[in-house]
């Protein structure tokens, strides 16, 4: 099914190749687990399967990668979409539509799956992944784990023959991870789907793997059975590490296998004394640094609150684990404590560095900053809030918006007023996940990218004096008089005369949204156009340069004699035949008799 023939991959900015002379064959119906430390080339190996490497990532690929008999060098990812389904590390990178149900159906729609089959598969996937209650929810309102389940479901609905999964359970709770892995295993055994899965939490998936592909970091790929590979590798799940130390043969891959192998050991240790557990360190002598009372978070349009009257107390030197199912409010609570997220009730007090928090005084609350110098991170500037509470979100790219590691470190020094750092620079605070509007840029048709956190227009819009950032700043919209006939609009530019690649909000470019006149921006193939004829009308409303297939309109300007409507844009590039005179001009809002005559006759 998948063949690597002497494959090497080297990126332009690296000295050594990431992959070196890889010879590998993955059979149909096989589940291969890809393991290795961070940065050894796991994502590169997976990306080569469907052509993302090097068509989108750049670099040079030597050798041949064939999937179901198709050479990825001559078949770009769009031509392999019916065979290979890919789930990346960041689910937001793959989302195209607005709601859960639409996202699950989108891939099937592009593959021309019959509507009845589409509805059946969507219902099956909603039940399989526990998303039935979220079918009409907006994708940006979901938690990280829920978004990851939707991303997996959007691939499963297309029924690909090859599944490429890059850490698919990294944001899932243990129960949801087991459900997803069980569903993938059923696809392997029942339908013969081939799966390549990269995962760091090996204890979850090692028991399901037929074969392990280990990347030691020198460009090689070592293939073998799980027990053979994990006996010598430096990374292994805890149960395998226990088996190696006990020298059990065969090496256990699951808790069930370990219990069977440990039966003689349990008998021998039955009468041995059990050492007493070490008592936890007393908390009375530790300094209270964060005190939150009655914290509540409720989002607009939601019947139930995300967080209800939570009390949190954190002391110096403690490590506290926050646990819960996906969507239970963990991220909402953390963002509320940091000060950048929504908080509809309660108080949060944080003692800054250098203040004298004092010790326990008999009263749990010493007062609003009167005795211990504590402050509310939600009531101060964004830079000050980051000094009080540092937060690392689920998606690291939410905080990385400069071009290099050095620039990120210099910016952090400037924002923290480090004496040895560079001059203070303008700051920006990441928005909580439920308000994200601009995901990281991703390739679109070659080297073009959509606006994202690293896009210059977005950075300019976010710059300015530091302040509380409860929501993403709104990007400036171009005026109605702006015209740029040299550019072709993409998927609904929004407003009037706005090019899709300019600084516009992401939701204005999404398909299915309504423009200012209440019309649907997207015209799918086979849908009825405004004038009743089938055609694909590019979105963009009255935007400049909207690429539209002629629908028999009466506007002037159809290329090659066409009578394309032009969508009120300038140089609409309409043209689908007709008996015009080949004159190319700007389309007008309403065609007159004179215009029809000049165009070569009326409809």
Mean pLDDT across the chain: 72
- Start-to-end CA distance of the chain, whole Å, equals 53
Tokens of 419: 């004496």
**pLDDT digits over 143-191, tens only?**
888 888 899 899 989 899 999 999 888 878 888 888 888 888 888 888 8
Q: Show which of 475, 491, 518 is a domain's final residue.
A: 475
Clarify whether residues 304 and 327 are in a common domain: yes
Is a pLDDT exceeding 60 seen at residue 336? yes
Q: Are 252 and 258 in contact (CB under 8 A)?
A: yes
Strand order in the sheet with 31-35: 84-87, 162-166, 194-198, 31-35, 211-214, 222-224
pLDDT for 414 equals: 80
Is this model's pTM higher than 0.75 or not? no
The residue among 317, 330, 321, 320 whose CA lies nearest residue 288 is: 317
Residue with tokens 């593959």: 111
Strand order in the sheet with 288-297: 307-315, 288-297, 345-350
**pLDDT digits over 302-317, tens only?**
888 999 999 999 988 8
Q: Are 333 and 434 in contact (CB under 8 A)?
A: no
**In angstroms, what CA-CA distances link 238 with 38, 203, 268, 574?**
19, 7, 22, 63
Q: Are 9 and 51 in contact (CB under 8 A)?
A: no
Clarify whether residues 337 and 434 are in a common domain: no
Q: Are 156 and 183 in contact (CB under 8 A)?
A: yes
Is a pLDDT exceeding 50 seen at residue 505? no
Range of the domain at 336: 288-383
Contacts of 459 (CB under 8 A, 6+ apart): 401, 428, 453
Return the minimum-mean-pLDDT range out of 11-25, 131-145, 465-479, 502-516. Answer: 465-479
Domain count for the chain, please give it: 4
Clarify whether residues 586 and 501 are in a common domain: yes
Clarify whether residues 498 and 566 are in a common domain: yes
What confidence category does residue 356 fall into, taking pLDDT thresholds of 50, 70 and 90? low
**pLDDT digits over 223-245, tens only?**
999 988 998 888 888 888 888 88
**pLDDT digits over 32-65, tens only?**
999 999 889 999 999 999 999 988 888 899 999 9
Clarify whether residues 486 and 582 are in a common domain: yes
- Alpha carbon dihedral 370, 371, 376, 379, in 10-degree steps, equals 20
Judge whether 423 lies within some domain.
Answer: yes
- Dihedral of alpha carbons 436, 522, 52, 455, sign: negative
For the chain, the C-alpha Rg in angstroms (whole number) is 29
Clarify whether residues 504 and 573 are in a common domain: yes
The residue among 403, 395, 404 whose CA lies nearest residue 167 is: 395
Q: Show which of 333, 360, 383 is a domain's final residue.
A: 383
Judge whether 169 lies within some domain.
Answer: no
Q: Are 387 and 430 in contact (CB under 8 A)?
A: no
Q: What is the DSSP letter of 479?
A: P
């Amino acid at each position: 099914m998948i063949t690597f023939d002497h494959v090497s991959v080297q990126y332009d900015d690296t000295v050594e190749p990431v992959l070196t002379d890889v010879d590998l064959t993955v059979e149909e119906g096989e589940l291969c687990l890809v393991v290795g430390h961070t940065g050894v080339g796991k994502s590169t190996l997976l990306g080569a399967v469907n052509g993302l490497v090097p068509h989108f990532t750049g670099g040079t690929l030597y050798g041949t990668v064939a999937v179901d008999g198709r050479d990825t060098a001559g078949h770009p990812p769009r031509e392999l979409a019916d065979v290979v389904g890919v789930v990346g590390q960041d689910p937001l990178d793959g989302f195209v539509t607005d709601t859960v149900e639409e996202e699950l159906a989108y891939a099937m729609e592009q593959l021309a799956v019959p509507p009845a089959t589409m509805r059946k598969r969507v219902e099956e996937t909603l039940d399989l992944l526990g998303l039935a209650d979220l079918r009409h929810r907006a994708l940006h309102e979901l938690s990280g784990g829920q978004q990851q389940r939707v991303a997996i479901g959007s691939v499963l609905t297309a029924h690909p023959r090859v599944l490429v999964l890059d850490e698919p359970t990294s944001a899932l709770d243990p129960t949801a991870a087991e459900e997803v892995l069980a569903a993938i295993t059923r696809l392997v055994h029942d339908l013969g789907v081939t799966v390549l899965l990269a995962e760091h939490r090996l204890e979850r998936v090692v028991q399901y793997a037929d074969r392990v592909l280990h990347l030691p970091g020198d460009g090689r790929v070592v293939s073998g059975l799980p027990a053979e590979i994990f006996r010598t590798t430096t990374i292994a799940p805890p149960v395998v590490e226990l088996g190696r130390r006990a020298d059990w043969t065969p090496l256990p891959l699951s808790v069930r296998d370990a219990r069977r192998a440990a039966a003689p050991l349990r008998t021998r240790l039955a009468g041995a004394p059990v050492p007493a557990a070490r008592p936890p360190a007393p908390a009375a002598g530790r300094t209270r640094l964060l005190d939150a009372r009655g914290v509540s978070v409720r989002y607009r349009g939601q019947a139930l609150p995300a967080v209800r009257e939570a009390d949190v107390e954190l002391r110096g030197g403690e490590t506290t684990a926050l646990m819960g199912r996906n969507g239970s409010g963990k991220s909402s609570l953390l963002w509320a404590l940091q000060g950048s997220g929504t908080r509809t009730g309660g108080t949060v007090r944080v003692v800054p560095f250098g203040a004298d928090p004092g010790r326990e005084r008999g009263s749990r609350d010493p007062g609003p900053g009167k005795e211990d110098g504590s402050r509310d991170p939600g009531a101060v500037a964004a830079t000050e809030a980051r000094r009080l509470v540092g937060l690392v979100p689920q998606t690291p790219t939410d905080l990385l918006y400069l071009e290099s590691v050095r620039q990120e470190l210099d910016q952090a020094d400037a924002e923290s007023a480090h004496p040895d750092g560079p001059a203070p620079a303008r700051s920006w605070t990441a928005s909580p996940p439920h308000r994200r509007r601009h995901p990281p840029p991703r390739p679109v048709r070659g080297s073009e990218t959509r606006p994202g956190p690293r896009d210059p227009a977005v950075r300019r819009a976010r710059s300015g004096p530091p302040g509380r950032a409860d929501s993403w700043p709104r990007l400036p919209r171009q005026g109605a008089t702006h015209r740029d006939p040299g550019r072709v609009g993409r998927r609904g530019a929004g407003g009037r005369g706005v090019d899709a690649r300019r600084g516009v909000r992401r939701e204005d470019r999404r398909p299915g949204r309504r423009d200012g006149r209440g019309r649907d921006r997207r015209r799918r193939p086979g849908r009825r156009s405004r004038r009743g004829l089938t055609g694909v009308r590019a979105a963009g409303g009255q935007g400049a340069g909207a690429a539209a297939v002629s629908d028999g309109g009466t506007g002037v300007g159809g290329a090659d004699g066409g009578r394309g409507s032009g969508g009120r844009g300038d140089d609409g590039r309409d043209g689908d035949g007709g008996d015009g005179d080949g004159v190319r001009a700007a389309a007008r809002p309403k065609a007159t008799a004179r215009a029809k005559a000049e165009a070569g006759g009326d409809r």
